[in-house]
Amino acid sequence: MSVKNTLLLILLLFIPVSLAAHFLEWGDLIVFITAGLAILPLAAWMGTATEEIAVVVGPTLGGLLNATFGNATELIIALVALNAGLVDVVKASITGSIIGNLLLVMGFSMLLGGLRYKEQKFQSVVARVNASSMNLAVIAILLPTAVNYTSTGISEKILQNLSLAVALVLILVYTLTLLFSMKTHAYLYDVGVAEIEAEDTHHTKPNIWLWSGVLLVCTLLVAVESEMLVSSLEVATSQLGLTSLFTGVILVPIVGNAAEHATAITVAMKNKMDLSLSVAVGSSLQIALFVAPVLVIAGWVLDKPMDLDFNPFELVAVVVSVFIANSISSDGESNWLEGILLLAAYTVLGFAFYFHPVIDNIG
Amino acid sequence: MSVKNTLLLILLLFIPVSLAAHFLEWGDLIVFITAGLAILPLAAWMGTATEEIAVVVGPTLGGLLNATFGNATELIIALVALNAGLVDVVKASITGSIIGNLLLVMGFSMLLGGLRYKEQKFQSVVARVNASSMNLAVIAILLPTAVNYTSTGISEKILQNLSLAVALVLILVYTLTLLFSMKTHAYLYDVGVAEIEAEDTHHTKPNIWLWSGVLLVCTLLVAVESEMLVSSLEVATSQLGLTSLFTGVILVPIVGNAAEHATAITVAMKNKMDLSLSVAVGSSLQIALFVAPVLVIAGWVLDKPMDLDFNPFELVAVVVSVFIANSISSDGESNWLEGILLLAAYTVLGFAFYFHPVIDNIG
Amino acid sequence: MSVKNTLLLILLLFIPVSLAAHFLEWGDLIVFITAGLAILPLAAWMGTATEEIAVVVGPTLGGLLNATFGNATELIIALVALNAGLVDVVKASITGSIIGNLLLVMGFSMLLGGLRYKEQKFQSVVARVNASSMNLAVIAILLPTAVNYTSTGISEKILQNLSLAVALVLILVYTLTLLFSMKTHAYLYDVGVAEIEAEDTHHTKPNIWLWSGVLLVCTLLVAVESEMLVSSLEVATSQLGLTSLFTGVILVPIVGNAAEHATAITVAMKNKMDLSLSVAVGSSLQIALFVAPVLVIAGWVLDKPMDLDFNPFELVAVVVSVFIANSISSDGESNWLEGILLLAAYTVLGFAFYFHPVIDNIG
């Protein structure tokens, strides 16, 4: 058994521990930490299960499955938090996931890949289409914030309507992106698929019933653990002296994106930078084009009004992240220093969020 | 006779209709709509006349003619509106023209071209020089807004002076751009000219007197119709429940730029993307480097003070448009999805302008 | 003797003149101007001395020497001004140096080079790494301003701490940049070094003791002259009707960067654009990654609290400069029009700073 699998099995122990912590009332901080750790192996197996099922059901249905379940962990945590009324944390976790994927994941990939290989190349049409889609998605998501920031006395109702309109446009764009990548321009994506398949080690056809069961159980457990994570979040983070902004932007996305982090870095160290970047950018893209709009619509359905009016500094941070990621990846080459630059950008943004005197209005 | 010409002749009927609507007082809304439709064929023939005369008088004088009359319709509408004191509409129509050319025209060109051809290429030094000039022009035009937004208690007089200074720099840059494209680096532009000439179908030398007459008559009629469009604008748009910001940014530019829209999309569908983009970007560039500064100076001369202090959200929208247009066109290739991305950006900006609670101070 | 050396010797006469102006009390304006002129030849010789010593001590130690003393003049002026409590001028001179190098120096290089050569090429990996580092540095430096601008009631203490944290990250990045350019990826920089050496005309090994003496004397004299420049600055500039912002952003950097200006333009006119740009961008980079953080730490040590909270319009100006410089240099080619665009951007920013009604709180 690989080191990775052993580690995942050990982390699995945190499921009973977190349950014990919750029911025996060991304190919110312990519940928060153990539930966070328990989610990690579940997220990893949900990813594996999704990919295995995708192999069986074929490229089209499999692609749709990946497109919907790819960020399932984040979506579940966010829905639970939304239902608990933690709108600010949910919004912050959207921007935090985008920032984390573009700076932290891409940064570690370029740094650790760059320590092994002097120069790493990646340059496909896919990367450029992804970057353009990302730019559009980020602009659309941040537009309500910009409208609010540049006007006075805008009503909450208007922001709500504008956010819903933006969400519908984004979901339409997401659908068209899938049409592009799976139908009209599928040939552009063939290399990536081949590389992903080469990554897989199975020689026999996966058992679809087994993996569907794994997916179901993991999804249920993630929901359970998310409930405990979210219910303990407010007390735990205030005990640590952290604002809801910092928690949402920095802490939650690290838990939700751990699987992508591991994959992107592993393949970067095998000099497959194209794949590594497509995991990092693709994950950001899915959050911006699918997860965020779904949350806006879910908020509207659940009557927990969630608009896309972010803290203005979140706007600055996302714009900055997209800009620096564009600047570093646009030449199709990377080295360790570029990884350092991305990580440095993440670090200074982290400091800024830590020191940002946000007016805390969760709860 | 081509479909296009038949359509233009039919639209010509709106000239008498709009006059009747005006003098028989059929209501401002009908005047507004019919005058808007009547301008379309006039703008198209002004364009044709300018190009025909340019063929006769030779490349240098012809280039200057195109450079001055290329956006004549927009300039006339804007001057009439400025004289009527609708400064906010005039300013909004400048940003709206830039946004419309970069997102709507370029978006439809890439989408409709991309539905016919899987990948379309365009990559000339001209495109890059245009993009850089565009970036400079946009920065310069938006600078007074940024100065106003980042300071408190700046006097109107100072904004006026700064806007005039910026206008003079832009007109100087425009002159130097003409020197570059017509003298020192004219060879870079030869391909474009050859393509435009190949588009033309005339085998005989155009009659300069005929076309000058057409140009003169059309110019006069556009002025007349612009007067009616502008005088009915306030009542008509408030009947439709629209703000002056939305009218200026979205409605006016669609009327003023219809000719460029048609040309850019037609040539894109013939797989001449270089020409298509140079029409779209070239038109934006002329507005930013020539029309906008001329309006500032005209406002100063007419004593209808017009500065370059835009609504901050117009600044955001222009920056966003330039950024996304740069991002999509910088790789020298396009496909239908990129067209969709540009149109999606235009749509969300349109929503944002629609919902923007601008304090209406026209009139 | 070359024209340049003759000119430098003549400028040397301003050392006694400025001393006379100071002690005989000829007025602050005369002291300010003569001290400014006296610094020019001293800065030039400090540069020469640093390079000569670098040749003797070998590439590694020489590189470190260049990295530390490359912007010694600016650092000395800034430290003297900081000690005199002119924090606003010091901060403005940091942004001004970045803007000046990217727009003024690069603009003149492309314009004057472009008047001789129709198209000039430059395209090395180094240029791209420099651009990415520059983007990161600019983002980091401007982050505290963005935090302050997007929040209300942030304490001076927090801005101070955030600025210190950013400064430490930047110095770490600077160290790693040196490691990259001198150790792990030194081969990328070999061409540049060869070109610089080809520029040098000495056939004999330089006398290290002589040049160390020159460096020492010049450094001392620059300090002396900086004291006079700084002490006369407030009265002199208010006599000229200038704000501290304009003085810091436009005037001080022209004095501090004159040597880089001369070098970059001279080599551009010899069609060595790679070298020219690396001087301009390299100098900006050193200011952002080394000079600015050192000043923050020095302010902390000297108990003259200096944070990185700039005037918001300085943020706009730096972002704009980086954006337009990226846009123009990213294609690896330049012509005279691109030089004009950079200079036009500098001119409109200069107007904006001139008209900016900054609340003057020096002194």
What's the pLDDT tens digit per position in C188-219?
Answer: 776 555 555 555 555 567 788 888 888 888 88
The residue with greater pLDDT, C55 or A170, is A170
Q: Three-class SS of residue C333?
A: strand
Distance from CA of B238 to the nearest CA of A (A): 19
Tell me the C-alpha distance between A66 and C84, whole Å.
62
Can you tell me the ipTM of this complex? 0.87
The reply to whether residue C166 touches residue A320, judged by beta carbons under 8 angstroms, is: no
Half-sphere exposure of C198 (CA within 13 A, CB side): 10
Residue range A215-237: average pLDDT?
87
Distance from CA of C119 to the nearest CA of B (A): 10
The reply to whether residue B180 touches residue C344, judged by beta carbons under 8 angstroms, is: no
Kindly tell me the number of DSSP H helices and DSSP E strands found in chain A. Answer: 18, 2
The reply to whether residue B333 touches residue A125, judged by beta carbons under 8 angstroms, is: yes
Tell me what the pLDDT averaged over chain A comes to.
Answer: 84
Q: Which of C327, C345, C348 sits opposite B131 (nearest CB)?
A: C327
Closest CA to C232 of C1, C77, C105: C77
Partners of C347 on chain B (C-beta within 8 Å) are 169
Instruction: Grade residue A115 by pLDDT with cuts at 50, 70 and 90.
Output: very high
Mutate to test the interface with A, among C130, C132, C142, C163 (most CBs of A within 10 A): C132
What's the pLDDT tens digit per position in B21-47?
Answer: 989 988 889 998 899 888 888 888 888
Instruction: Grade residue C360 by pLDDT with cuts at 50, 70 and 90.
Output: very low
Partners of B143 on chain C (C-beta within 8 Å) are 320, 348-349, 351-352
Nearest-CA residue of chain B relative to A135?
B324
Cα B359 from chain centroid (whole Å): 25
By DSSP bridging, strand C333-334 and strand B120-121 are unpaired
- Chains interfacing with B (3 or more CB pairs < 8 Å): A, C
pLDDT of residue B362: 35
Q: Which of A336, A351, A358 sits opposite C166 (nearest CB)?
A: A351
Closest CA to B256 of B3, B40, B19, B32: B40
Q: Cα–Cα distances in Å, from C93 out to A339, C148, C258, C268, C296?
A: 30, 20, 14, 25, 13
Partners of C128 on chain A (C-beta within 8 Å) are 331, 333
Tell me the C-alpha distance between A70 and B124, whole Å.
40
Closest CA to B315 of B233, B245, B362: B245
Tell me the C-alpha distance between A350 and B341, whole Å.
31
Return the number of CB contacts < 8 Å for A and B.
86
The reply to whether residue C131 touches residue A327, judged by beta carbons under 8 angstroms, is: yes
DSSP C67-134: HHHTTHHHHHHHHHHHHTT-HHHHHHHHHHHHHIIIIIIHHHHHHHHHHHSS-EE---HHHHHHHHHH
The reply to whether residue A356 touches residue C161, judged by beta carbons under 8 angstroms, is: no
Distance from CA of B82 to the nearest CA of A (A): 25
Q: Which of A118, A313, A323 sits opposite C147 (nearest CB)?
A: A313
Tell me the C-alpha distance between A260 and A255, whole Å.
10
Q: Which of B139, B162, B177 sits opposite C345 (nearest CB)?
A: B139
Kindly tell me the number of DSSP H helices and DSSP E strands found in chain C. Answer: 18, 2
Q: Cα–Cα distances in Å, from B229 out to A177, B5, B47, B80, B254?
A: 41, 24, 20, 9, 13
What's the pLDDT tens digit per position in C242-285?
Answer: 888 888 888 888 877 777 788 888 888 988 888 888 888 888 88
Please give the radius of gyration of chain A, using alpha carbons only, rounded to the nearest integer: 20
pLDDT cut 90: percent of chain B above it: 20
The reply to whether residue A356 touches residue C147, judged by beta carbons under 8 angstroms, is: yes
The pTM (predicted TM-score) of the whole model is 0.88
Q: Which of A132, A155, A158 sits opposite B338 (nearest CB)?
A: A132
The reply to whether residue A337 touches residue C153, judged by beta carbons under 8 angstroms, is: no
Q: Which of A118, A324, A355 sits opposite C162 (nearest CB)?
A: A355
For residue B190, pLDDT over 70 is answered with: no
Instruction: Grade residue B202 by pLDDT with cuts at 50, 70 and 90.
Output: low
Partners of A166 on chain B (C-beta within 8 Å) are 348, 351
The reply to whether residue B326 touches residue C324, judged by beta carbons under 8 angstroms, is: no
Angle between helices C208-239 and C28-57 (to 10 degrees): 150
Find out whether C307 and C296 touch, Cβ atoms under 8 Å: yes
pLDDT cut 70: percent of chain A above it: 93
Tell me the C-alpha distance between B239 and A40, whole Å.
57
Q: Which of C151, C166, C180 sits opposite A313 (nearest CB)?
A: C151
The reply to whether residue A337 touches residue C147, judged by beta carbons under 8 angstroms, is: no
Closest CA to A151 of A309, A317, A300: A309
Among A19-23, C6-10, C106-110, name the one with the lowest average pLDDT.
Answer: C6-10
Nearest-CA residue of chain B relative to C325?
B132
E strand or H helix at B46, and its extent? helix B28-57
pLDDT of residue C167: 94
Angle between helices B125-149 and C336-355 (to 10 degrees): 0
Cα B21 from chain centroid (whole Å): 27
Residue with tokens 């100063």: B300
Main-chain phi, psi angles of C330, to 5 degrees? -70, -20
- Chains interfacing with C (3 or more CB pairs < 8 Å): A, B
The reply to whether residue B180 touches residue C333, judged by beta carbons under 8 angstroms, is: no
Instruction: Grade residue A347 by pLDDT with cuts at 50, 70 and 90.
Output: very high
Mutate to test the interface with A, among C124, C129, C133, C136 (most CBs of A within 10 A): C136
Determine how many CB atoms are found less than 10 A away from the CB of residue C6.
Answer: 10
Residue range A136-143: average pLDDT?
88
The reply to whether residue B147 touches residue C312, judged by beta carbons under 8 angstroms, is: no
Find out whether A39 and A225 touch, Cβ atoms under 8 Å: yes
Partners of C144 on chain A (C-beta within 8 Å) are 352
Closest CA to B48 of B220, B224, B210: B210
The reply to whether residue C139 touches residue A324, judged by beta carbons under 8 angstroms, is: yes
Residue range B290-317: average pLDDT?
89
Residue with tokens 């700039």: C310
